[in-house]
Structure 1
Amino acid sequence: MFRRFSLIVALCFAVSFANAQETPKIVNEIVINGTMRIEPETVLTYLMIRQGDEATPDRLDKGLKSLFSTGLFADVKLSEKNGVLTVDLVENPIVNKITFEGNKKIKSDQLKGELTLRPRTVFTRAKARADTQRIVELYRRMGRYSAVVEPKIIERPQNRLDVVFEITEGEPTYIRKIDFIGNNSFDSDLLEETMLSKEARWYRWFTSTDTYDPDRFAYDQELLRRFYFNHGYIDFEVVSSSAELSPNRKDFYLTLLLEEGKKYTVGKVEIVSSLKGFNPETVRSVPTFKAGKTFNQSKVDDSVLALTNAVGAQGFPFVDVEYRLDKHDDSTVDVVFDVKEGQHLFIDRIDIRGNTRTQDRVIRREFRFSEGDAYSPAKIRRTRQRIENLNYFEKVDVNIEPSEDAPDKATLRADVTEKSTGALKLGIGWSSYDGPLAEVSVQERNFLGTGRVVGASASVAEQKTLFDISFVEPWFLDRELSWGVDVFYLTRNYKDTSSYNSEMAGFSNSFGWKYTEELSHSVKYTLRNDKIFDISDGASRYVREQEGTTLTSMVSQSLFWDYLDNRYNPTDGWYLSLSNDLAGFGGDNRYLRSDYSFGTYTPLSDKWVLGLSTSGGYIFGFGQDVRLNNRYFLGGGNLRGFETGGVTARAKQGDDSLGGNWQLTAGAQLMFPLGLPSEFGMKGKIFTDWGVTGKPSGFNESEMWYSSKLRGSIGIGFVWSSPLGPINIDYAIPVRKERFDKTEYFRLNFGTGF
């Protein structure tokens, strides 16, 4: 009986003790210790426990983690006793300043921009480790894999500290060897030319392409894929790639294992469509390649864009063009374009981000559509291209983000990264025409972020002096209409060719617009004061009669068709220019001048480009002779092998070049590689120039030499895009000339900016 009673008492005591243990503890007071900069109210906000709350283990754990997650504290402790919650804190220090020691190849400002630590921000060891690794990564991207970075901490009063990154930059890690395995169709030198990464050579001192960069090496593999696909090898793949660092950490050895596959030619080119109301036969001629030719992936991609544009122009806004390749055993591949209805999607909103300097409207006006328009991949690509062509930004990304609320709507986001648009150029050079020259120019292509172009230049040479101030508004009255003003002053020494000096001063006001992406039109008004003076004693009377000052008031127009792949270094396409100058709206001169120029470029093979060109012009005066300074002078740049003005009518007295009232030129030039590495930037050329010029006003056979016979020359030369600037050297031999023509076998032009 006693045992049973004792057992009951024990059970009751255990139950009472358990209930006592489960009784929640109420926080009656919160005590915060250790804060120096941080207000107690801020601590309470992150603690998430208030007076009167229960101090459960779960709440205490969440409060502890919340305080740690702020990054404000190096240590946090929570303790509860008798209803008092004590919060003991150790604040993280504040960064006073950040300095770098030992960095020579990367400027301190550039390094600071890459760090997460900033002055007057909280210091954590995790941030310091991440920043150290980031600096090491920057040096590795420069090819310095032996760089060592060590962060040092200098404590200051009031829980502040200085962060010092001690940097040992080390020597560059060069690419010693690039090995290709499996390349049977192309030699290793050609494949290396395709890549951005290069083997170390003495002449690559001015580039960094011979240092190893993992991102560059990854992109090289994509370049190799494009190269093979553009030459018909559509089964090509990079099976494996490796980059091995030498034990002394000075050299990298790159190896690429390739599988080329077969070379394919184009079999059939077909266009099929499931688009209702669309006839594929209407775009049959749009693809830019033909059957029987070697397959070229770039031309297929171009054809997709061309088909998208062509079908869209027929009134089908939602178009999606895809292609498939049907390979056959006989090494032919059929290319089938499938034109089908694309997703019905409308642009609901356009967002532009990253333009810290350029105004929104400057970017927005380059878009090929507006908010509410139908989505078009072709227009998206063209929009990105137009924004890139502004040359205001280092990077341009244009992406579509579907709306979460409406499946048929999307937001178009344009993310840009600004770059410098101002340029100060100082230059020196030498020209066969102008002699030694010096030039200084300043230009801002995006003045105050408005897209306007403001520039000024001055050039002083042995034979000429030029001062020019210009302004261009590319979107006049918010339309795609450019407006420009140009003020100029030019003096030129013609003593050697025509026994006089000239001076020209004036201004022009011009407007320009585009009918299509390829066809542009411009009109211009010019008011110009011309002066012919300082005539030599032995000059002919035809030159002496021109002495004095005249005023020209002139309206000009120019049409320009541009189908070149690159205006500055063309390899394919053609151009045509037609222009007229009409003088006589006031002033002393009254004439009509008409000019044309045409050129076409054809790639014969890799880096071999044939260029054919022709130009001509005619000027005649209204009730007066055409003055000397308005005539055509053949020779020099437009007829190599002859001096500037060396092929024109010439006065028997004084041997002065008198020009002509018309001229025609034609030429052919073959550009070819010299077998040197691409870094040299050197190309060879073989050329032939031909031309003929007309008689001048007031021609007198007894006092002038003139011949209407065709003149011509053949020659060789090379162009070098050198580190000191472009150098152009021509050696031409006249093969058809007259006895009174002035020849010039050697012609050199070069200049440099610094």
Structure 2
Amino acid sequence: MAEQDRSAAGGVAQGQARVRNGAQMRNAARLRNGAGGALLALSLALPASVAVTPAIAQSYAFNTVQIEGNRRVEDGTILSYAGIARGQSLSAAELNDAYQNLVQSGLFESVELTPRGATLRIDVVEYPTISVINFEGNARIGDEELSALVRSQTRRAYSPSTAEQDAATITDAYVQQGRLSAVVTPRIIRRADNRVDLVFEIFEGGNVEIERLSFVGNRAYSDRRLRRELETKQAGLLRLLVQRDTYVADRIEFDKQLLRDFYQHRGYVDFRTNSVSAEVARERDGVFLTFNVTEGQQFRFGAVLATSDLPEVDTELFQRAIRIRSGAVYSPLTVEEVIERMEGIALREGLDFVRVEPRVTRNDRDLTLDVEFILTRGPRVFVERIDIEGNTTTLDRVVRRQFRVVEGDPFNPREIRQSAERIRALGFFANADVNAREGSAPDQVVIDVDVTEQPTGSFSLGANYSTSDGFGVVASLSERNFLGRGQHLNFGISTSAGNRRFTLGFAEPAFLARDLRFGLNLSYGETDNDDALYDTARATISPSFTFPVSPNGRLQLRYTASYTDLFNVDDDASVVIQNEADESSRWSSALGYTYSYDSRRTGLDAETGVVLSFGQDLGGIGGDVSYIQTSASARGQMKVLAEEVTLRATLEGGALHYNDDDNSRVTDRYFMGPSIMRGFEPGGIGPRDADTDDALGGNFYAVARFELGFPLGLPEEYGLSAGLFYDIGSVWDVGETYEADVLYDDFTLRQVAGVSLFWATPIGPLRFNWSNAFDKQDRDEDQEFDLTISTSF
């Protein structure tokens, strides 16, 4: 390409003479003696270097400045950069400075200053104009994303230094994706009329994966347990789908903080990360990452007291709020919870500006930490205003309601930090920074909230297949920040040859600008299967309100209206089902409540704690039937043996009682299946017609599930672990039998034991169960294997 020569962007940079050291800068001025007097010429050759000779001290005064070669840059702009005024007396050094200023402006490829008596001639060659910016060789990062990173712009002057900076910025973007071997080279293609095309040639290279993630110095916890806490992961079998197994240097600092938090919350107050070494493999396609740590000793709480020298403070009241048992493992988070509780009591008691300062005394001999909570008078500082920026879609009030303080309230730094955590927990923002600065007066504080929004909606479309219903289509649409109001909206469709279900859900988490969640759920489903004993149709609408009643407790109040229809009953079906179908459709109307208690809301570990739930629905507020439905559950989980082994237990039950002459139907009663009790087919246990062997369901059920989870000793990158489980339970009481011979209508326990294999995959955690129902009834339908999505605690 003669007229379209492609050259490295640095080639133009090489065309600009570069003064590389102080000596060259001093000798950049070249003095010529001639008949007309002294001639000072500072030239920038292209592509040659500057010829340098010693400058002779001399003064110049120019009445005229003649500028040649400029097309795009105005004369006034050039004189402004040069800093030369008409009639001004200049020394040779000042003339050299004018030359340097023009060169450093980044507007010209070459500059030459030639004094001719009272006239100064300035010859310039402008940098070309960028016509097009292209990216070549990129696949992992699209052109649009790269265009947003570069500073070079079309229809603007080309700058070699800016192009080099852009290349470095693009390289950094690839490094953040773990591609350390990425190379970006800026090149230009010259066009007519002093124009160029700027091309960034990109060699992306391969991902530099974490081949091994290990630790040195850890004794209390294994490498496997510590790896679970880090954001960085080892490369596994499904490495093409996992992005966290690539080496990103900036992520290491975050991992170090995660490790520190993990150990400190478990009493290791002296923990530190000594170093992190990253050894690159010879082929530069992998990194061996090693954390060198010092755990120190585990400390426990010693004496814990509340003290104050303020006469209006009742220390006994605050002492009762501590709730820390001496001998418990020390955790800074527990201390923070006590401080928060005490400051809440101070506000309720009208004690403004009271601060709680923990004073920790270390006892190395018995490895305890005494904590004294000192209530003192804090500075009288008020919140002047809360400024929110960056929320282009989310309304201000959605962010503002995460604060427990408003303008004019006393300033509490701890409350501001907690507000920042609540903003991040919304999930609406990729980044959320909350900072406090001095306001219009020393006793005023302005809180700045700077957020970066991220997508909050999702759409999924898929297909399913079952032996009973054939192929089906599943689609769902969900938005967690509907219209920027913080509202949740979801819609789902599931259809197949014999099954159709539609759902619509809406939730307002701050109804009437209070901590009151309003929910509305609508659903409609019907079955129409030639192989089934009967077909059904069911429609439900349920508005609800949920609000806190304690730091860990929630209460939901709801109303449920439902319509059910039982039709197309097979002639060979149980007489019980046939009689129930004679009622055809049925309307029910019920008021209900559910109280839930979740210790994980204030616990140290979201995977350890207790979750309790109790609820009732009282039917008969209109409708065709009167009933009381009660449900209760208790779930607990804890980790033992250095948190390598997980113990889980679940107790669950339900009771359905119909009043007067009303009876439950097969569409209302409980059925046991793998989701409730493993080891049995859906409807595989419980009351059953002796003649037709049809499952009838029961008005009562109870089940207890126990599980032990443990690692297999395989490399963690496989994502495999195992478990043992034991389930015991029963479902019973059909109610009205219509003189049918019903088996197992009484409470009869079944017992199942088995093993599980857990596989953590990018599409979700899968669970494989192998079961043995060693205590069952003759006509129970057991299930020796099933595959499900593993549910988290």
TM-score using structure 2 length: 0.80
What does 1:598-613 align with in structure 2 at a 5 Å threshold? Answer: 598-605=634-641, 606-607=643-644, 608-613=646-651
Q: How far did residue 336 of structure 1 move?
A: 3.8
Letter in 2 for 1:140: V
The DSSP-based 3-state class of the residue aligned with 1:658 is: coil
Residues in 1 aligned to 2:70 and 2:290: alpha-carbon distance in whole angstroms: 58
User: Paired residue for 2:625?
Assistant: 589
User: Paired residue for 1:370?
Assistant: 406
The DSSP-based 3-state class of the residue aligned with 2:600 is: coil
1:340 aligns to 2:379 (yes or no): no
**Contact between 1:640 and 1:713, CA under 8 Å: does it hold in 2?**
no
Letter in 1 for 2:572: G
Q: How far did residue 531 of structure 1 move?
A: 1.9
User: Paired residue for 2:658?
Assistant: 620
Instruction: Select 1:352's aligned residue among 379, 385, 388.
Output: 388
Letter in 2 for 1:657: A
**Contact between 1:616 and 1:665, CA under 8 Å: does it hold in 2?**
no
What does 1:57-68 align with in structure 2 at a 5 Å threshold? Answer: none
**Contact between 1:68 and 1:76, CA under 8 Å: does it hold in 2?**
yes
Instruction: Select 2:750's aligned residue among 692, 712, 726.
Output: 712
The DSSP-based 3-state class of the residue aligned with 1:383 is: helix
Residues in 2 aligned to 1:729 and 1:556: alpha-carbon distance in whole angstroms: 39
User: Paired residue for 2:302?
Assistant: 267
Residues in 2 aligned to 1:64 and 1:558: alpha-carbon distance in whole angstroms: 82
Deviates more, 1:342-351 or 1:392-401: 342-351
1:454 aligns to 2:492 (yes or no): no
User: Paired residue for 2:326?
Assistant: 291
Deviates more, 1:283-292 or 1:45-54: 45-54
User: Paired residue for 2:695?
Assistant: 657
Cα separation, partners in 2 of 1:490 and 1:61, compared to 1, 3 Å: farther
User: Paired residue for 2:762?
Assistant: 723
**Contact between 1:580 and 1:593, CA under 8 Å: does it hold in 2?**
yes
What does 1:299-698 align with in structure 2 at a 5 Å threshold? Answer: 299-318=334-353, 319-403=355-439, 405-428=440-463, 438-460=473-495, 464-492=499-527, 499-515=533-549, 518-547=552-581, 549-565=584-600, 571-605=607-641, 606-607=643-644, 608-698=646-736
**Contact between 1:665 and 1:690, CA under 8 Å: does it hold in 2?**
yes
TM-score using structure 1 length: 0.83
Cα separation, partners in 2 of 1:438 and 1:95, compared to 1, 3 Å: same
Residues in 1 aligned to 2:518 and 2:219: alpha-carbon distance in whole angstroms: 56
User: Paired residue for 2:158?
Assistant: 123
**Contact between 1:269 and 1:335, CA under 8 Å: does it hold in 2?**
yes
User: Paired residue for 2:24?
Assistant: none
Q: How far did residue 292 of structure 1 move?
A: 2.5
Deviations 1:264-284 (Å, cap 9, x if unpaired)?
344333444455533444343
Q: How far did residue 622 of structure 1 move?
A: 4.8
The DSSP-based 3-state class of the residue aligned with 1:545 is: helix
Deviates more, 1:426-435 or 1:198-207: 426-435
Cα separation, partners in 2 of 1:550 and 1:85, compared to 1, 3 Å: farther
Letter in 1 for 2:208: T
Q: Which runs of 5+ in 2 are unaligned?
A: 1-58
**Contact between 1:427 and 1:751, CA under 8 Å: does it hold in 2?**
no
Residues in 2 aligned to 1:682 and 1:428: alpha-carbon distance in whole angstroms: 27
Deviates more, 1:312-321 or 1:162-171: 312-321
**Contact between 1:612 and 1:668, CA under 8 Å: does it hold in 2?**
yes
Q: How far did residue 406 of structure 1 move?
A: 1.0
The DSSP-based 3-state class of the residue aligned with 1:444 is: strand
Deviations 1:727-754 (Å, cap 9, x if unpaired)?
23333434544444443343322499xx
Residues in 1 aligned to 2:736 and 2:765: alpha-carbon distance in whole angstroms: 42
Q: How far did residue 346 of structure 1 move?
A: 1.5
The DSSP-based 3-state class of the residue aligned with 1:645 is: coil
The DSSP-based 3-state class of the residue aligned with 2:163 is: helix
**Contact between 1:457 and 1:469, CA under 8 Å: does it hold in 2?**
yes
User: Paired residue for 2:168?
Assistant: 133
**Contact between 2:635 and 2:648, CA under 8 Å: does it hold in 1?**
no
User: Paired residue for 1:242?
Assistant: 277
User: Paired residue for 1:10?
Assistant: none
Cα separation, partners in 2 of 1:281 and 1:734, compared to 1, 3 Å: farther
Q: How far did residue 155 of structure 1 move?
A: 3.0
Residues in 1 aligned to 2:595 and 2:103: alpha-carbon distance in whole angstroms: 67
Q: How far did residue 573 of structure 1 move?
A: 2.6
User: Paired residue for 1:224?
Assistant: 259
Name the Cα RMSD after superposition.
4.0
Q: How far did residue 176 of structure 1 move?
A: 4.6
Residues in 2 aligned to 1:158 and 1:302: alpha-carbon distance in whole angstroms: 70
Q: How far did residue 252 of structure 1 move?
A: 3.4
Q: How far did residue 348 of structure 1 move?
A: 1.0
Q: How far did residue 152 of structure 1 move?
A: 0.5
**Contact between 1:529 and 1:549, CA under 8 Å: does it hold in 2?**
no
Deviates more, 1:175-184 or 1:653-662: 175-184
Q: How far did residue 151 of structure 1 move?
A: 0.6
| Alignment length (residue pairs) | 728
Identity of aligned residues (%): 32
**Contact between 2:459 and 2:478, CA under 8 Å: does it hold in 1?**
yes
**Contact between 2:681 and 2:783, CA under 8 Å: does it hold in 1?**
yes
**Contact between 2:487 and 2:509, CA under 8 Å: does it hold in 1?**
yes
**Contact between 2:69 and 2:125, CA under 8 Å: does it hold in 1?**
yes
Q: How far did residue 718 of structure 1 move?
A: 3.7
**Contact between 1:395 and 1:416, CA under 8 Å: does it hold in 2?**
yes
Residues in 2 aligned to 1:53 and 1:622: alpha-carbon distance in whole angstroms: 111
Letter in 2 for 1:589: V
Q: How far did residue 400 of structure 1 move?
A: 1.0
**Contact between 2:237 and 2:717, CA under 8 Å: does it hold in 1?**
no
Cα separation, partners in 2 of 1:207 and 1:627, compared to 1, 3 Å: closer
User: Paired residue for 1:213?
Assistant: 248
Q: Which runs of 5+ in 1 are unaligned?
A: 1-23
**Contact between 2:271 and 2:295, CA under 8 Å: does it hold in 1?**
yes
User: Paired residue for 1:733?
Assistant: 772
Letter in 2 for 1:332: T
The DSSP-based 3-state class of the residue aligned with 2:278 is: strand
Deviates more, 1:532-541 or 1:218-227: 218-227
Deviates more, 1:465-474 or 1:174-183: 174-183
